[in-house]
Homo-oligomer: A and B are copies of this chain.
Amino acid sequence: MAPLKVGIIGLGATGPALGPGAWAVAAHLASFVPSPHYEIVAVCNSSVESAQRSIDFHKLPSAVKAYGNPEDIANDPNVDLVVVSIIVTNHHKVAKPAVLAKKQIFVEWPLGANTAEAEELTKLAKEANLKTIVGSQFRLDPALIKFKELIDSGAIGKVTSTQAQYSPFSGPPGTWMADAAYYLDFKSGGNEFHIAFGHFFDSFLYVLGDFATVKATFSQQYPIMKLVNTKTGEIVDPAFPKTAPDHMFVQGVLYSGAIASVNYNRPGELVGKTLRWTISGTEGEIELTLNGALQMGHSEREIRIKTGEDKEPRVVDWQVSTPAHVEGVQFPGQNTARLFEAYAHGDKSVPDFEDGLRLHRLLDRIAKDAGYA
């Protein structure tokens, strides 16, 4: 089959570091370039010049088109799939033209800066019967796939309870990058709750389904943040007020009947793992631990299970063989590469706008109970 022709919105003229435009480099460019299933045919930035700079910087073929606004890339008849990888506040504005142009479309998580935006995009895409993707790529992690497969197969019987402790370690909890200050703002829709917590919650819903009842307590343990210029290391603002929570503790009963707890915290140090997710059932218990960056792949992961037949917990092998063009994608793009590989094969586990909208709605319920809405 001919490769899918990709137009990327938000590809920086930069290396795969943290910062504006860098995620598209680290995850999307890294996934598409080696893949036989995709061909980059267009890049759109805030100006044609900026797009052309990226094309040149990354040595993309000279035939790749440079665009300066989302309507132009959306209306390029040569583009099959539009990939949106920009700040969340602009997702809706930039994705909508591609949806109206009936392109296949990928939007990074969160889908919208708020649920209304996500609802409109999902409704339009559904009416046009479009194929859509949301960038919550942990679903494609092979350890998570194995974890879900074991639960679905009844390996631990009926699920009775689940508890997840998620402590992503991304530097000192009272310091943040000056050029990503929106991440500290609850109203931006792209903060620690919606992004870091939300990403994990997507996989939670994927494995165990939605909450019938939900309660939540949020806390700001670091309400005043030090903003740092990541290039110079200089402190740009020693006392920036944060409006987003940095601790989100959620509990409830799932539609399955199981009781659930998901706690996100920001410890200064970590005695255990980044993620410890235990699922208990009538016939056994299973635990997924992960040390490193949840979404990104190439982290230390372990699944242990114990059923009535085991004297001690057993370690479960979750490794799968993956084509070289996927396996070769470096951290942090690994799980994104798995997602695009699965999409190219029509795999139904790839998260779509409906999944994104469901997550938006649950996050709203959680924020409301915590007094943040």
Contact = CB atoms under 8 A, between A and B. Distances in A.
Interface residues of A, number: 50
A269 B163 contact: no
Interface in A12-42: none
B251 A267 contact: no
A265 interface: yes
Given A249-B259, A265-B163, A271 B215 contact: no
Given A217-B215, A265-B280, A272 B247 contact: no
A282 interface: yes
A163 B263 contact: yes
A271 B310 CA distance: 10
A213 interface: yes
Contact of A259 (B252, B265, B272, B307): B265
B221 A265 contact: no
Chain A interface mostly:
strand
Interface in A229-278: 247, 249, 251-253, 257-261, 263, 265-272, 278
A358 to B, nearest CB: 21
A283 interface: yes
A165 B306 CA distance: 17
A78 interface: no
A270 B259 CA distance: 17
Given A160-B247, A259-B247, A282 B306 contact: no
A268 B281 contact: yes
Interface in A159-179: 160-161, 163, 165, 167, 173
A202 interface: no
Contact of A253 (B160, B163, B219): B219
A192 interface: no
A257 B219 CA distance: 9
Contacts of A323: none
B219 A251 contact: no
Contacts of A142: none
A284 B259 contact: no
A157 interface: yes
B304 A266 contact: no
A175 to B, nearest CB: 13
Contacts of A305: 271
A306 B221 contact: no
A147 to B, nearest CB: 13
Given A161-B221, A251-B263, 8 more contacts: A160-B247, A160-B266, A249-B261, A259-B265, A268-B282, A269-B306, A271-B287, A271-B304
21 contacts: A160-B173, A160-B247, A160-B268, A163-B165, A163-B263, A165-B278, A213-B217, A215-B217, A217-B253, A218-B259, A219-B258, A249-B251, A249-B260, A251-B263, A265-B280, A267-B281, A268-B282, A269-B307, A269-B308, A271-B278, A272-B278
**List of 7 A-B pairs having minimum Cβ-Cβ separation, nearest first:** A267-B280, A219-B259, A160-B221, A161-B265, A269-B306, A215-B215, A271-B287
Interface of A: 156-157, 160-161, 163, 165, 167, 173, 213, 215-219, 221, 247, 249, 251-253, 257-261, 263, 265-272, 278, 280-287, 304-308, 310, 313
